[in-house]
Structure 1
Amino acid sequence: MRVFRGMDWVKGLLGKSRQKLPQIQMQNLTAKLRVKPVTKERVQATKDRAIQGMKAHKWTLVKTASVVGVVSALVWGGNSYVHGNMSEVYHVIVNGQEIGTVTDKAQVEQFKDTKIKELASSSADVRMSVSAPTIEFMPEKAFMAQGDEQQVLDKLSSYITAHPVGIEMLVDSKPVGVVKDEATANQVLDSIKATALDKKKSSGVVKVLSASPAVQSADVVEVQKVEFVQKVELKEVDIQPQDVMKPEDLKKKLETGDVQPTKYTVEKGDCVSCIAKKLDIPKQVIYQNNPTISDDMIKVGQQLDLTVLQPTLAVRTVEKLVETQEIQYDTEYQQDDSMRLGESQVIKAGKNGVKKVSIQVTKVNGLMTDETVLNEEVVQQPVKAVVRKGTKVVKGEGTGKFAWPVLSSTITSTFGTRWGAFHKGIDLTGNRNIMASDNGKVVFAGVKAGYGNAIILDHLNGYKTLYGHLSQINVSVGKIVEKGEKIGYMGSTGDSTGVHLHFEVQVNDEPQNPLKYLNR
C-alpha cells in the first residue's frame, strides 16, 4: 500500500509543475514574425532576442527538468520494488477440490510419494494396496505471496489411504486359498509341478509281482509338456490379514485335497489284490504308499497306508522315453535222423539284436494314464542260430518264433515298471480274436488272480505264453493248438481297465519282454 500512495504523490507533483510553466504569448510572437525582407541584420537580431529569452527563463526550465527527473526516478523505483516482490504460488487441487496454496509443488509430490511408500510397507505379513488422489497445480503470480504448506500437507494426507489385499487362487473357478502376492502363488504352483516330475525318478523303487528281471530304465527321458489338468486363475482381492495362508499349507491343500490318512491292518488271507478289491482302491495306490512291499509279500498285522489322495490340483506330464531293448534271434533247426528225440546240438550260436524304442508316456501326478509306442529303430540285427535236432517231432512243440496274438494290434502298455508296479507283459488292443502266438499245449485255462480269464500255453521248448483278461476261453487244458489258431476272445476281466489283451512271454517261468520276440 505504501508504494501506491507514493505514486499518487508523484502524480500531484506533476500537476503543480505544469501550472508554474511560463505561458508564451503566441499572438505577440505571431505579430513580431510578420514577413519582412530577410537581411543579415534581421537574422542577427532574431538570434539575439532568442538568447535573451533563454537567459530570462533558464531557471524555470531547470526547475521543470528537475521535477520531471524526480518523478521519473520515483516511478521507476516504485515499479522495481513491486516487480522485485512479485512471487509465484500454486493452488493445490486434489480430486477436483482446492485444499490450499504452496510455493513449491515439488514438496507436495515428494510428500505424496513418501506417504505411499510408508503405507505400502506398513505391514510385513500382508500386502497393502494404496489409493492415491489426483493432484493438479494452478500457478498464480502475486505481490509478496506466501503459501500454507503445512495445512496443504495435512489435508493431502487424509486423501492417501491403504487397505490389505492378497492373491486368491481359483481352481476351475472355485476359490482354494489366498496368499500374500502373485510371486508366492507362482512359487506354490511351480513347486507342485516339480513334485510331479520328481515322482517318476522313484517309480522303479517298488518291486512287485514276483518279477526277477532287472527293471528296464530309459536311456533318454524328455519332458515334452508340464501342465495343470484344471484351470488355474490368480485374482487380486481385498482381504483381512488372517485370510492369508502359508505357502506350504496351500500346497498341501492343493496336492491332497485335505484328505485324512487311512490306515489298514493286514488280516489273515489278505493279499494286495484282495485288499484293493475289498476296499475298491487302485493297487498302485497300495504299492506307492507302501514302498516296503516286495514281491507282493505282506504279513498279518502289518499296517498299510491306504490313503487315496484327491488332489485339488493335478499335474499332467507328457514324456518321451527312448529305451534300448533286445531283439530275440531266430533259430533254424536242422533235423537229424541220427539224433534221439528231444536232443539238440548247436551248430551256430545266435546273437540277440538291439533296437531303440520311443515311447510317449502321459502321467497325472506321477501316475501313468496313457502310453504309446511311437516307433522302433533297429540298431543291430540279430544273428540267427542253427541247431541240429532229432527228427522225431513232438506234437505241440513250438517253433521258437512268435507271431502277434492280435491282428492290427496297438500297444497300450509296454513291459517294465509301469503304473507304480512291474508290468510283466504288454497290453494290446485291436481285433478281439486272440490267437496262439506259437504251437503249444494248453496247460492252464480258467480264472487266474489278477488276470481274470486267462490261458497259458507251454510251447514245449522252454517258452510259455500267457493271455489274460479274456471275456471268452475257447480251449481247454491238454489241448494242442497250432500257431495262429483262435484260442479266445478279448475282454476286461480281472484287474483290468478297459478291453485289452495282456500278453506275456516266459522263459523257464521267468517273464521276458514280449517285444524282444515280436517285431513289426
Structure 2
Amino acid sequence: MTGFRGMRFVKDLIKRFTPQRESLTGNESVSDKQLEEVTPTPTTLTVMKRHKWSLALGVSAIALTGVITFTGHQYVEAGMNDVYHVMLDGKEVGIVSDNKIIDDYKQQRPIAVQKDFPEVHVVLETNGVTYTSERAYNVKTDDEGVLASLNQLLIPQPVGVALKVDGKTMAIVKDKQTADLILDQVSAPFAPKAKENAKVAALSASMGEDIATAPSELQKVEFVQQVDQVEVSIDPKDLAKPEDVVKKLQTGDVQPAKYTVVEGDCVSCIAKKLGITKQFIYDKNPGLQDDKLKIGNQLDVTVLKPPLSVKTTESIVKNQEIQYDTEYVKDDSQRVGVVEPISPGKNGLKKVTIQVTKVDGLLTEEKLVDEEIIDKPVTAKVKKGTKVVQGEGTGKFAWPVVSPSISSTFGVRWGKLHKGIDITGNKNIMAADNGKVIETGYKSDYGNYVIINHLNGYETLYGHMSKVTTTEGTIVEKGDKIGIMGSTGDSTGVHLHLEIHKNGSLENPLKYLNR
C-alpha cells in the first residue's frame, strides 16, 4: 500500500469512529468524561485489528514525505547565491557575483582613464552605475562581461578650467592647479620679495629713501577684478599655454610705444599731449631727473592695459625724528634781537607706520596709520629780549587744517622727491605758525600757493589751493586763515601740499607735526 493510500485509510478510519462516538452519546451535549466511560464493542476492536497494518503503513508514508521534502529543501538551498544586478542610469547591464567588483571599478576606473590622457584632465562620470542585490537559485553571473560593457558605455570627457576676469573668459587651461599657478605668476612681481612673513625692522628716515620701494611687510595681495575658475567640457586643442596666459593677463597684448623728444618739449607738455600723467612718465623712465629732456631722446610711454591688475597692501615702519621745541625766557636786560642759550634741546624719536596701497606695483595711496613715541624730545631754553618782533614764529608748528589726515608722506616717489606731505581734512587752510606772507601765486606743480616766512629761519609752503585768501606782506598769526583747499596744478585730488624749509633746506613736516 502506498503512502498516499495509507493516509486515505487513516482519514476513513477516523470518519468511522466519529459516528460510533455520536451513537454512543445519543446527543451532541454528552461530556468527554462520559465518552471515556463508553466501552468499545467487540465489533470495533475487530475492525481495528483488521486494519492495524494499513494504519502503520500510512504513518510511515507521512514520515517519508517529510524526509523527501526536507531533503529537497536542502538541495535547493545549496544552489542559492547572492548576486548583483548592475544598472547604468537605470538600465541593466548585467549580473556580477560580488558588489565589491563594482565598488572597486567606480573608484579605480577614473584613475586608469586619466593615465591614458596625461596631457589633459578627463572626467569619467560613474555616479550612474548602481546595483541591486538578489538571492536566487543557480543564476549565472558574468563579472568580466559586465566590466567590459561598462568600459564601452562610460565615455571619458576631457575637461578644462575657464579662467574668467569680470565674467569674460581669458583662456582655458588644463586644471585648477594650472590656473592657480598662472595667477600666482601674475601677482608674484608685485609682492615684496622675502618679506611676506618677516616683521619689518624700523628704518631710519632719510631724504633719499623711496617709500615706493622701501622694505615693507605685505598685508594683503588681491586682484582688482573679479576672478573666477569654471570647469568646462573642452576639445584638448583649445587648451592655452600657461606662459601665454600669464603674458596676456599682464600686458593685455599691448605693443611697446616710444616718444621722441622734440624742441620745446617738457615732461608736462608730453604728458598733456599723450593724455597721461607726469608721474607715469617718471615711473616708466627711471633715469629721467626733474624736467631735463634732450632733443632726440626716446621715452617709454607704453600704456599697458592688463585685463588683470594686482593690488597689494603693505605696511612700512620707520623711525622719524621729532623736532624739539624752544622755550623763550624773556629778559628785560637784553636788547631786542639778542638771543642767549640757557640749555640745549634734543630731538626725540618716534616710530611711524604707513600703510601703502599699490596697483600693479605703482603707488596709488598711502596713509599714516600709527605712530609711537620712542624717545621724547627735550625742550631747549633760550634767553631773549622782551620786545616781540611782529610776525616772528614760535618754532612750534600746528596742523594747518582741522581734522587732518595724511594722504601722502615725505620722501622719494619712483625716482622723484615728494618735498612735503599731502593733507586732507577741513577745507580751510591756516598758517602753521606766526609769520609774514612773502609770496603768493600760481605754479604748474603747486597750483595756487602761499609761502610764509616765520622770521626765525623757517618757511612754510601751502600748495594746490582752490583760492588764496591772503596777500603778500601780510603778517599772520598761527591759526589765521590763508586759503581754501583745492586741486590746482599737478594734483590728483583735493588736498593741501605742505612743505617746511629750515634755513633753506627741506625738512620732513612729520618731524614737527604729531598726531
Among candidates 487, 497, 503, match of residue 508 of structure 1: 503
Are the aligned partners of 1:466 and 1:504 in contact in 2 as well (CA < 8 Å)? yes
Show the counterpart of 2:372: 377
Q: Which ranges of structure 1 fall in alignment gaps of 5 or more residues?
A: 1-11, 16-33, 36-69, 202-210
Deviations 1:462-513 (A, max 9, x none): 3221111122234455x14222343333221111122221110012332211
Structure 2 distance, partners of 1:376, 1:507, is 24
Letter of the 1:507 partner, please give it: K
Secondary structure at 1:136 match in 2 = strand
**1:354 and 2:344 equivalent?**
no
Show the counterpart of 1:258: 253
Q: What pairs with 1:298-317 in structure 2 (closer than 5 Å)?
A: 298-317=293-312
Aligned residues: 466
Deviations 1:97-142 (A, max 9, x none): 3334444554555555554323223322221111234232454544
Among candidates 464, 477, 480, match of residue 469 of structure 1: 464
Show the counterpart of 2:262: 267
Secondary structure at 2:318 match in 1 = strand
Letter of the 2:244 partner, please give it: D
Are the aligned partners of 1:122 and 1:128 in contact in 2 as well (CA < 8 Å)? no
Show the counterpart of 1:67: none
TM-score, structure 2 normalization = 0.73
Q: What pairs with 1:60-459 in structure 2 (closer than 5 Å)?
A: 90-103=84-97, 106-107=100-101, 110=104, 113-132=107-126, 133-139=128-134, 141-143=136-138, 146-198=140-192, 213-215=207-209, 223-294=218-289, 297-333=292-328, 344-388=339-383, 396-417=391-412, 421-459=416-454
Deviations 1:315-373 (A, max 9, x none): 34444444322221122345678878766443422111222334444433343444433
Structure 2 distance, partners of 1:191, 1:441, is 56
Structure 1 distance, partners of 2:397, 2:72, is 120
Letter of the 2:248 partner, please give it: K
Letter of the 1:380 partner, please give it: D
Deviations 1:59-93 (A, max 9, x none): xxxxxxxxxxx999999999988776676655443
Letter of the 1:125 partner, please give it: E
Are the aligned partners of 1:167 and 1:180 in contact in 2 as well (CA < 8 Å)? yes
Structure 2 distance, partners of 1:472, 1:200, is 47
Letter of the 1:173 partner, please give it: G
Between 1:287-296 and 1:172-181, the stretch displaced more is 287-296
**1:489 and 2:468 equivalent?**
no
Show the counterpart of 2:28: none
Letter of the 2:400 partner, please give it: P
Shift of 1:161: 0.8
Show the counterpart of 2:19: none
Structure 2 distance, partners of 1:320, 1:469, is 28
Between 1:417-426 and 1:497-506, the stretch displaced more is 417-426
Secondary structure at 1:379 match in 2 = strand
Are the aligned partners of 1:219 and 1:322 in contact in 2 as well (CA < 8 Å)? no
Secondary structure at 2:442 match in 1 = strand
Secondary structure at 2:191 match in 1 = helix
Between 1:433-442 and 1:192-201, the stretch displaced more is 192-201
Structure 2 distance, partners of 1:106, 1:438, is 89
Structure 1 distance, partners of 2:111, 2:214, is 55
Are the aligned partners of 2:251 and 2:305 in contact in 1 as well (CA < 8 Å)? yes
Show the counterpart of 2:200: none
Are the aligned partners of 2:110 and 2:123 in contact in 1 as well (CA < 8 Å)? no
Show the counterpart of 1:56: none
Deviations 1:228-284 (A, max 9, x none): 333222211111213222333333333333333222233344443443333222333
Shift of 1:454: 1.8
Are the aligned partners of 1:321 and 1:359 in contact in 2 as well (CA < 8 Å)? yes
Letter of the 1:490 partner, please give it: M
RMSD (Å) for aligned C-alpha atoms: 4.6
Structure 1 distance, partners of 2:380, 2:123, is 79
Secondary structure at 2:287 match in 1 = coil
Are the aligned partners of 1:222 and 1:321 in contact in 2 as well (CA < 8 Å)? yes
Are the aligned partners of 2:87 and 2:131 in contact in 1 as well (CA < 8 Å)? yes
Structure 2 distance, partners of 1:366, 1:386, is 47
Deviations 1:349-406 (A, max 9, x none): 2111222334444433343444433344333222222345577876654332223322
Structure 1 distance, partners of 2:454, 2:97, is 105
Letter of the 1:382 partner, please give it: P
Structure 2 distance, partners of 1:390, 1:403, is 24
Are the aligned partners of 1:355 and 1:377 in contact in 2 as well (CA < 8 Å)? yes
Shift of 1:171: 2.4
Shift of 1:425: 1.0
Letter of the 1:378 partner, please give it: I
Give me the identity figure in percent. Answer: 51
**Cα gap change, 1:159/1:349 in structure 2, threshold over 3 Å: closer, same or farther?**
same
Deviations 1:12-54 (A, max 9, x none): 9999xxxxxxxxxxxxxxxxxx98xxxxxxxxxxxxxxxxxxx
Deviations 1:406-459 (A, max 9, x none): 234333322224577532111223333333323444443222231112222333
**Cα gap change, 1:338/1:470 in structure 2, threshold over 3 Å: closer, same or farther?**
same
Secondary structure at 2:393 match in 1 = coil
Are the aligned partners of 2:207 and 2:411 in contact in 1 as well (CA < 8 Å)? no
Between 1:317-326 and 1:388-397, the stretch displaced more is 388-397
Structure 2 distance, partners of 1:349, 1:101, is 101
Deviations 1:178-219 (A, max 9, x none): 222222223333444443332898xxxxxxxxx982427799
Letter of the 1:373 partner, please give it: L
Letter of the 1:116 partner, please give it: P
Letter of the 1:248 partner, please give it: E
TM-score, structure 1 normalization = 0.73
